[in-house]
Amino acid sequence: MEGRVRLAVMSIPALKLPIKRGALLAAANWPVVVVQFIAEATFKILLAVPIVGGTFLVALALNQDVQDVLGDDLDLRRSATGVATSLLEHPVALASFLAALAVVVAGGSALMFILKGGTLSVLVEAQRHAGPVERYPVRLALLRRASRTDVDVFLSGTRRLRRRFLRLGAFLLATYVVSGGLYLAVVVAGYRAVGEEGFLVGWTVIAAICSAALVAWLAIVNTGYLVLQIIIAASDVSVRTAAREAVRLLRTDTNRTLGVFLVTAGLVGVATLASLVATAGLGLISFVPFVGLTVLPLQLVAWLVRGLVFQYLGLASAGAYLFLYEVPADDAAAPALSQGVPA
């Protein structure tokens, strides 16, 4: 019993170091967080173009109301599903819509994959020059030391890593497609197996279990994808070699790797819950006369904060995994760093 308690107490500082270092590296290199946010926002705007075009195509061809197709919440995924459902009876129009959507997804994803190479290159430079910043109280001087955001480093990283990141990204998209197809197949098969009598309870339970499994699976896939990107950027190796290194990391440092994954997933879950609560609150305010006019700027601010927070969490987790994979030389850096810095 005492051994178990001692192990639990010792595991907290061991997990604190990579998480704190990742958070500090992400904060010190905040411009790349903004770049990632702009890239994701651009991708969503590009994705909205074929969806809006498909909506008007449905409205003209099928004589349906645009609001019914887009939905009240203007969610891109639901809108795309609504357009595709409305075009099922018109195969040519549906094929054109899906082709346009595929082109935008491929192009936007390629842009994000390439930019991620520059972001991680900056993070690797910060990792190698920051010193043991996680072992000292947070100071502005430490953040300046860890700041390695530079245009040349960013562009050099995009050029050096673009081919490998594009191959890895293509594999990620293929995994998404296969996972989504299996999810739909299982849900449809469950609906047919349950039948109309058990629809309300049985099919709902099946859909909920499949949705939870899909979310968990995609979280694992995204984490593995991020770890592979980090290893490629840090060691300049091929995708296959990076996969072997990722397996080695998981075997040699299983507890902290899983710990970083769980902490990151928990923070993302809390941020998502806070975002949903804020969205619901703004929705209630919109019904109040005159006060509802302030909802639009508040929604814009909430969108900016939400996007930046999620990008920061992603970069902080990348810094934590990078710490586990490429431990900095603390003993060599500590003497120079400790001058003038309280322990």
Q: How confident is the model at residue 194 (pLDDT cuts 50, 70, 90)?
A: low
More confident residue, 310 or 72: 310
Give me the pLDDT at residue 82, please: 61
Kind and range of the H or E element at 75? Answer: none
The model's pLDDT over 7-40, given as tens digits with 9 standing for 90+, comes to 343 344 678 889 999 999 999 999 999 999 999 9
- pLDDT score, position 272: 85
Q: Categorise residue 237: left if φ over 0, alpha if ψ from -120 to 50, beta otherwise.
A: beta
> To 10 degrees, the CA torsion angle through 293, 295, 296, 302?
160
Q: What is the SS3 assignment for 211-247?
A: HHHHHHHHHHHHHHHHHHHHHHHHHCCCHHHHHHHHH
Q: What is the mean pLDDT of the chain?
A: 79
- Residue labelled with tokens 């990742």: 22
Alpha-carbon distance of 323 to 73, in angstroms, equals: 40
What is the DSSP secondary structure assignment for residue 1, as one 8-state letter? -
State the burial class of residue 254 (Cβ atoms within 10 Å of its Cβ: 0-12, 13-18, 19+): exposed
pLDDT score, position 69: 56
pLDDT digit string, tens, across residues 74-89: 555 665 666 666 666 6
Longest CA–CA span in the chain (Å) reads 74
The amino acid at 98: L
If one counts every other C-beta atom within 10 angstroms of the C-beta of residue 180, the result is 12
Tokens in use for 143?
A: 């953040």
Count CB atoms within 10 A of the CB of residue 268: 16
pLDDT band at 335 (very low <50, low <70, confident <90, very high): very low
Q: Mean pLDDT across the stretch 140-166?
A: 90
**pLDDT over 90 for what percent of the chain?**
36
Question: DSSP E strands: which ranges in the chain?
Answer: none
Between CA 324 and CA 234 the distance in angstroms is 12
- Residue 19's Cβ-count burial label (10 Å; 0-12, 13-18, 19+) is buried
Say how far apart CA 325 and CA 327 lie, in whole Å.
Answer: 6
- Tell me, what amino acid is at 312? Y
Going from the C-alpha of 195 to that of each of 172, 189, 202, 211, 315, the distances in angstroms are: 35, 10, 9, 20, 46
Instruction: Tell me how far apart the alpha carbons of residues 79 and 71 are, in angstroms, rounded to a whole number.
Output: 7
pLDDT for the residue numbered 196: 57
Does the pLDDT at position 72 exceed 60? no
Ordered by start, the domain boundaries in the chain are 16-161+253-330
pLDDT of amino acid 209: 85
Task: Name the token pair of 71.
Answer: 């939905």
Q: Tokens 């480093």: give the residue.
A: 153
